[in-house]
Structures are given as C-alpha cells and as structure tokens.
Amino acid sequence: MNVVTNNKWIGQRTIRPDGMDKVTGRAQFAADTTMPGMIWGKVLRSPHPHARIKSIDTSKAEKLPGVKAVVTSKDIFDFTIEKGAVMLGIQDMRWMCRNVMARDKALFPGHPIAAVAATTEAIAEEACKLIEVDYEVLPWSIEIEDAIKPDAPILHEFNKFEGKPSNIAGRLEHKKGDIEEGFKKADVVIERTFTTRPVHQGYIEPHACLISVAPDNKTTIWSSSQGQFMVRAMTSMLTGIPQSDIRAIPAEIGGGFGGKTIVYLEPLATMLAKKSGRPVKMVMTREEVMRATGPTSGSKSTVKIGATKDGKIVAAHGTFYLQAGAFPGSPIRGAAGCSFTPYDIPNLLSEGYDVVSNRSKVAAYRAPGAPIGAYAVECVLDEVAEALKMDPLDFRLKNAAKEGTKAAHGPVFPRIGYIETIEAAKNSDHYQAPLGDGHGKLRGRGVASGFWFNAGGESSAQVNITEDGNVVVTTGHPDIGGSRAGIANICAELLGIDYSRVSVIIGDTQTIGFSNLTGGSRVLFASSMVVTQSTEKIIQTLRERAAKIWEIDPEAVKWEQGAAHPVSPNAGQFEPLTLKELAEKAPAMGGPIGAGVQLNTVGADGGFGTHVCDVEIDVDLGIVRVTRYTAVQDVGRAIHPGYVEGQLQGGVAQGIGWALNEEYIYTKEGKVDNPGFLDYRMPVCSDLPMLDCIMVEIPNPKHPQGVKGVGEVPLVPVMAAVANAIYNALGKRFYALPMSPPKVLEVLDAPTQQAAE
C-alpha cells in the first residue's frame, strides 16, 4: 500500500488531458465521425399521440433512387410482453424495443415508425415521406390527471392496477413508524400539493451515431452515449448480434445528464447498416431530440409534514405521482426515496406512483426524481419553519440526518456531512449578508437541502507503463465533465510523477473490461478505485524490479517521488531507480509493466447539499431573476476542485431553468409545441449571476481518496430554494413550476381580482 503523505496533484486544478482537443475543435464527437461509403439514416415518426398501426407500406420508399435500406419493427427483436420483464440495468427491454420502434401502436408524437438509409440525408427524408402508414387514431391523454381518470384511454391493456386495466404502472412505498400516531403528536401540520412540468435534459449535442456492420456481423459503433457497454448490450439485444461481435466506441459526449443512458438510434442504424451493407450515420435534429428523447417526468405531489412546537418533525407523508411517458419507468424511487432523507423523521410514509401517458418515454435526468420530491418537501418544510417562527436553516439543523440515522429507504447512515453543509450555508457570507435594496424590485432569500443516493457499481481500469517511462490509463466510462483530469491527478499522485506524464483514455467495449454507465454520480468514485488498485499493483511490480536489480528483498524497497528507493541504509546503499529507468530496463527485467483491475465498487453512500438563493422580482413584468446563489455540498474529497465546482454550478443553472422557465408545452392535438431552443427556454448567460460554491470535504471512509459522487446533488434543492426565495420576496407561494413571468403575474394579480369580485 502506497501511502500518500503530501498531495501534489490530488486537489489541484490541473489541465484536463482531453482539454487541448476540445478548445481547438479537434475533439471527435459522434456527429463529427465519417467513414468511406457512408450513407445516412432518417426516422419516420408518428404524427399522432396514440394510434394503432394497421399497416406500413414501404415499397414506394424502397424504390426511390438512392435508398439502400428500410427497417420497421419487424427488423427489431421483439421482447414479448407476456414473457415478463427482461431487465438491463433499470431498463426493461420489452419497453425499450417498443420505444426505439413502435410495434402495433404509436404511443406519442415522434414515436419511430420506420427508418430509411439513403445516399444523402435529403433522399432519406424524401423516402420517409413515401412510406404509407395506415393509422387508427385512438383517444389519448397527456397529463397525469387525465391518465388516471377511470375512463382514461389505456395505453397498455395488459397493465393492471388494483385488478383493472390502468395507466398506473407501478407503486412503491418507503415506510417507517406510524404516521397516524406521529401526526397526533404534532402542533403544526402543513399539507400542500405541487405540480411540476416535464423538462428536458437539454444537452447541446443531439444524439448521433455511425455504425458499420460487416457481412460476418462484426459491428463497429461510434456513438454519443453515457456508456459504450450499455450501447453494446442494448444494440445486441435489439438486433440479435452477439455482444462479442459489437465494438462500441465512445465518441466524446456533448452532455447527457442522464438522457444518454439509453439507446434511440443505434439499433436502427445497425439494422440499416446490416441490410444495406454500408456504414450508416444518423444524427437527430433538435426537434427530434425534444419530441422523442428524454425528458424527465412532470409530477403531482402531495406532502404533509407535522412538527412539535420545539421544532421537531414527528411525522411526514408524501405522495408522488410521476409521468413515465409512453412506457413504465418513471423515477418514483428518486422522488419517494430521496426527498425526506435529509431528515430524521420517526414516522414516515413516502409513496410513489408511476403513470404512463401519451408522451415520450422519460429518461434519467440528474438525480432522477429527487429534485421533484425535494421541491415539494423543502417548500413545505419552509412553511412549517415559518409557522414555528424558526430560521429555516436552524429548523433543518434540528432535524438533520446524521451518522446512525436510519433512512426510510433502508440504510443507516455512516459518517455523513449533511449537518456541515447546513452550518456552512448558515455561516456563509451569502447567508450573513443583508438582502439589500432592490431599487423598486422585491427581494427575497430562500434555502433548501437535497440528497441523492450516489452509486458505485462496475468499473474497470488498465494502467500501462510505456517504454519511455510514462503512463497510459484506460478506463471504461465516457468522460462527460472532466473525469479524465481527476483520474490523472490520482494516478500521478500515487506514482509520484508529473501530471503531464499521465495520459487517460476511454477504452471501447472490446479493449477494456465492463464498466457501467457514466451516471448516478458514480464515475470518479468507481473509476478512481480501480485506477488506484491498478496503480498499486504497478508500484508493487516496480519495487520487485528494483529489488531484483539491487539483489535485495522487495520489502526493502519503497516507492517515493516517482522512484524506487531502499527503505533504509540497512537495506543497502543504492541510487534511486526512476520510473523511466525501470521502464527502459523492462524488456530485460521481466517484460512489460501493466496492471488492470475490475471491481463491483461499493461504499458510495449518499450525497447532501444545502443551497441559498436570492431573487429579485420585477412585479410589473413578473420576471424573477436569481441575483445570488450559493451551493454548499459535502463532496467527500475534491480531486479536481475546478470540475467539482463545475458540477455544482451546472446543476444549479439547470435547476434555475427548471424553476423559472423550462417546460414542455403541448398543443390541443397532443403535440409538443415548443420543440426548439427558442421556445423551450433554457437559461442563457445573461439570465444568471456568478454561482458560488462551498465544498465541504468530509472524506468518504470507504474510498481510497475519500471521494463522494458530486454530479447529481447540485440539482436536487434548486427549485425549492428558488421557490422559497420567491415566497420570501412576495409573501406568496407557488405550488406549480415553472414560475415563469405569466404565472408570476397571475399570482401577483390574484388579490386585486379577489377585491374586485
């Protein structure tokens, strides 16, 4: 075991290994890749929210000059409903096969019906128009309220809830104590209902892939995803090509936030490539991204919290209805499992309901479900604190989960840093500073906390020493936000060499061991474990090589500052042997130096954050501006502080968008009416202030460098923090997101209307 005494690289703001490529435009994202002989694939999508597909006639399209292949659901493997779930991670392939290509029924506008490959994009598009589909249009429902009505059109007849066909696809609950008894003890009880709209992950890079299939089925996939192994497995299952024949190469990925954890294009492009014998490239338009991928759920939640006069929460009840989109699988686990978890509540019932309706299937989005639950819970907490005349942070402190608290979803917490985040927020310049004069605008301040499970799971690494004595680290997780920099910091630190001598690459499925998705706040947690163990094996080899050269015992050799040294003068007097020298001697001294490790990592535990938000409201226009924001988070150990802050700031910006502007708007015909960046309004640079971060570092005792996942927690508290700040400014509370200008005006105008009535 190599003990690191003083850190040279861990905790440094090093320049990321892939950075130069990205600032010069060289980096290869999926849509940047081409191949000789390549043709283009396009998808024909359903115009209807709900329709039975009676027939599809592709003959005219096939005859169009330039068209090389057409595929429909017949070409995609059918996981029949009756045979039961076929799970890959959290995805049921029965839904996945129907989501990539409609089978029997189109379930949302944008649902793929057929795909065409042709020599140009224009011809492929033209051919899509020549495909004749006979639809029987069915009644549909988009919103939760409509989908759970007794007479609602049923999406999946086989799905039963309480014995009847239903659009409720599942229910889960977390329970602790007895809520009836608990509420009896409460002096203050507040119950509220909240709704949120679906929001899109909003990655700037649309989904894209390039796929080549040789006549012997050997398949190469270049694609943008959060996991090349997921791409390989799903493509294999949906096309029937064995995994060993598929090489999935991770292109650089232009954002994902959970939205690129499933496949959309890859199985279609694979079948088009197989049928046509040509490499096929597919790139979604932004409109396709908005209509047919992601988003996360819209929701309806009811939260009831009871507390005693002295500020102790005695009971809580949450009911969270989440939209799944066209197929079961909304993130009810995140909503029901995370939102009360920051608190030690003796009597708790947290229920989640998964509701299908005629919109695109939801995909993971940063701490899936947790921000939705936290919005409701943290707003009610604010009201309870106010009723008790307590400072909202003091109220949270008084009820905070800590080491030994049993969370309703199961675990008993080890040493966690939640209390430290509240204290840091309380002591921050931000929380201490007066709100100041708004010059005619109303100002307010709000706080909120959040929790996310964090994940460990499978990870593989290979560390090789080059002949010139440098290091190449290969891991299996796409680098979505700078993880290569963190890995290089750790490897350079352990080996005691300069950072610039470590190169980090992301292996493809056929060159590195299985590694699970980039998601769940797991990548640096998991990959640094396997990189650490691989590096330790290498250090052991290096010590053995030096011992052999010096003809002493390996135990008498220590590794320090990039070189082997005798442990003490007693071991013998030798000049240190550097990594470079040992690498050069390698051919004569036992051969190549390298080591790999594969692990199913555990010990990720959970992550906590507490946020402080200031807003300024223009009451004439209804515009809310966030003027100051501080995100405090227990990050375990910041291996690369710059990219940890980046995760915090990025999550906060997404949350501000979700709170204030972002939403899917539907037409009367059941179609998304704002499928572009002009009308789906994500925050732009001028909408935001600087976003301050306070990183609390309580090292994770179960991780060699103390790492805790950081990517997801930052989004969890934001909507509640903004809503609480707006309440603080206006004295009026919003029970629906987004709090966009027309809705703010509606609430502001409400009392005048009442007076006039």
Partner 1 sequence: MAKVHVTTTINGEPMEFLCEPSDTMLDALRGSLNLTGSKEGCASGDCGACSITLDDQLVCSCLMLAVESEGHEIRTIEGMANGDKLHPLQQKFLEMAALQCGICTSGMLVASDALLKRNPNPSEEEVRFWLAGNLCRCTGYDKIVRAVMDTAAEMRAQ
466 to 495: interface string for partner 1, x by CB under 8 A: --------------xxx-------------
449 sits in which H/E element = strand 442-452
Q: Which residue is nearest to ligand FES (CB)?
A: 204
Task: Decide whether 61 or 283 has the Cβ nearer to ligand FES.
Answer: 283
- Using the structure block, give the residue that is written with the tokens 């910091």: 489
Instruction: Single out the residue of 79, 183, 194, 203 in contact with partner 1 (rule: CB under 8 A).
Output: 203
Q: What letter does residue 420 receive in the DSSP assignment?
A: H
Q: 423-450 in b/e burial notation, b at 16+ Cβ within 10 A? A: bbbbebebbeeebeebeebbbbbbbbbb
Nearer to partner 1, 194 or 452 (CB): 452
Return the number of the residue (204 or 756) whose C-beta is nearest partner 1: 204
Q: Are 362 and 386 spatial neighbours (Cβ–Cβ below 8 Å)?
A: no
Q: Quickly tell me which residue has 């999550």 as its tokens.
A: 651
Task: Please report whether residue 406 would count as binding partner 1 according to CB under 8 A.
Answer: no
Which of partner 1, ligand FES, none does 372 bind, CB closer than 5 to 8 A by kind?
Answer: none
Contact 613, 446 (CB under 8 A): yes
Question: Could you say which of 262, 461, 491, 691 contacts partner 1 (CB under 8 A)?
Answer: 691
Q: With binding defined as CB under 8 A, does residue 685 bind partner 1? A: yes
Q: How far is the CB of 518 from ligand FES (least distance, A)?
A: 14
For residue 291, the minimal CB distance to ligand FES (Å) is: 17
Exactly one of 7, 20, 415, 560 binds partner 1 (CB under 8 A); which one?
Answer: 20
Give how many residues touch partner 1 by CB under 8 A: 57
Total residues contacting ligand FES by CB under 6 A comes to 2
- 429 scored as a contact of partner 1 (CB under 8 A): no
Is position 204 an interface residue for ligand FES (rule: CB under 6 A)?
yes
Alpha carbon distance 122, 248 (integer Å) = 27
CA–CA separation, 487 vs 300, rounded Å? Answer: 41
C-alpha dist (Å) from residue 546 to 79, 495, 595: 57, 15, 17
Cis upstream peptide for 150 (omega within 30°) = no
**Of residues 4, 11, 29, 514, which one binds partner 1 by CB under 8 A?**
29
Strands in 96-251 per DSSP E: 105-106, 112-118, 132-137, 160-161, 164-165, 168-176, 188-196, 208-213, 219-223, 246-250
- Residue among 107, 463, 497, 652 that touches partner 1 (CB under 8 A): 652
Residue 100: name its binding partner from ligand FES, partner 1, none (Cβ under 5 to 8 Å by kind): none
255 lies in the binding site for ligand FES (CB under 6 A): yes
CA 238/CA 51 separation, integer angstroms = 23
Handedness of CA 129, 133, 139, 142 (dihedral sign): negative
Task: Say which residue the tokens 């929380």 belong to.
Answer: 431
Contact partner, 31, from partner 1, ligand FES, none, Cβ < 5-8 Å per class: partner 1
> What are the phi and psi torsion angles at 374 (to 5°)?
-65, -35
How many helices (H) does the chain have, and how many strands (E)?
Answer: 20, 30
Asked if residue 503 lies in contact with residue 472, where contact means CB atoms within 8 angstroms, the answer is yes
- Tell me which of 109, 110, 182, 206 binds partner 1, using CB under 8 A: 206
Distance, in Å, from the CA atom of 437 to the CA atom of 459, rounded to the nearest integer, reads 52
- The answer to whether residue 500 forms part of the interface with partner 1 (CB under 8 A) is no
| Residue in this structure with the two tokens 């979604």, named with its chain if needed | 284
Question: What whole-number distance in Å separates Cα of residue 81 and Cα of residue 77?
Answer: 12
Which listed residue (222, 525, 643, 658) binds partner 1 by CB under 8 A?
A: 643
Task: Give the residue among 50, 492, 508 at the shortest CA–CA distance from 243.
Answer: 508
3-state secondary structure 681-705: CCCCHHHCCCEEEEEECCCCCCCCC
Q: In whole angstroms, how close is the CB of 499 to partner 1 at the nearest point?
A: 13
CA atoms of 711 and 520, how far apart (whole Å): 8
Q: Which residue lies nearer to ligand FES by CB, 483 or 700?
A: 483
Binding partner of residue 153 among ligand FES, partner 1, none, CB under 5 to 8 Å per kind? none
- For the bound state, the minimum distance from the C-beta of residue 118 to partner 1, rounded and expressed in Å, comes to 15
Residue 35 or 552: the one with the smaller Cβ distance to partner 1 is 35
- Binding pattern to partner 1, positions 158-197, x when CB under 8 A? ----------------------------------------
Q: Which residues make Cβ contacts (< 8 Å) with residue 162, sequence separation at least 6?
A: none
β-pairing, 623-634 with 691-696? parallel
Site string for partner 1, 261-300 (x = CB under 8 A): ----------------------x-xx--------------
Minimum separation from the CB atom of position 682 to partner 1 (A):
6
Q: Which amino acid is at 28?
A: Q
Q: Interface with partner 1 includes 754 (CB under 8 A)? A: no
Q: Between 109 and 206, whose beta carbon lies closer to ligand FES? A: 206
Q: Which of 7, 22, 175, 411 binds partner 1 (CB under 8 A)?
A: 22
Nearest approach, Cβ of residue 6 and partner 1 (Å): 23
In angstroms, what is the minimal distance from the CB of 287 to partner 1? Answer: 9
Q: Using an 8 Å Cβ cutoff, are 127 and 64 in contact? A: yes
| Backbone angles phi and psi of 517, in degrees to 5 | -55, 155
Contacts to ligand FES by CB under 6 A: 204, 255
Contacts to partner 1 by CB under 8 A: 13, 15-16, 18-20, 22-29, 31-32, 201-206, 252-257, 283, 285-286, 480-482, 640, 642-643, 645-647, 649-654, 676-678, 682, 684-688, 690-691
